[in-house]
């Protein structure tokens, strides 16, 4: 299962820079993960200051 970003996201952009497959992009008020590209590495969850990304 791919990771998803919750509404807790403060749109800091840190996760996008850490994703090895560039699956994260800026959405409407928060960042979003492309489920088809995500390889479940967990880097976004480890680096997020508010713990917004989680496995769906
Ligand atoms: Fe990118 Fe890994 Fe997060 Fe998936 S789990 S969005 S591959 S950093
Ligand atoms: Fe949102 Fe966390 Fe990514 Fe920052 S690191 S854009 S708060 S999900």
Relative to the CA of 16, which ligand 2 atom is closest? 3
Mutate to test the pocket of ligand 2, among 2, 7, 11 (most ligand atoms within 8 A of CB): 11
Query: What pTM was computed for the model?
Result: 0.95
Q: Please report the pLDDT score of residue 56 as a whole number.
A: 83
Domains in the chain (CATH in brackets) are: 3-55 (3.30.70.20)
Relative to the CA of 30, which ligand 2 atom is closest? 1
Residue whose C-alpha is closest to residue 55's, from 43, 42, 46, 47? 42
Query: Tell me: the pLDDT tens digits for 4-50?
Result: 999 999 999 999 999 999 999 999 999 999 999 999 999 999 999 99
């Amino acid at each position: 299962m791919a990771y998803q970003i919750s509404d807790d996201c403060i749109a800091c952009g840190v996760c996008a820079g850490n994703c090895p497959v560039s699956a994260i992009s800026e959405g409407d008020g928060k960042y979003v993960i492309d489920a088809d590209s995500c390889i479940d590495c967990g880097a976004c969850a480890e680096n997020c200051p508010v713990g917004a990304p989680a496995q769906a």
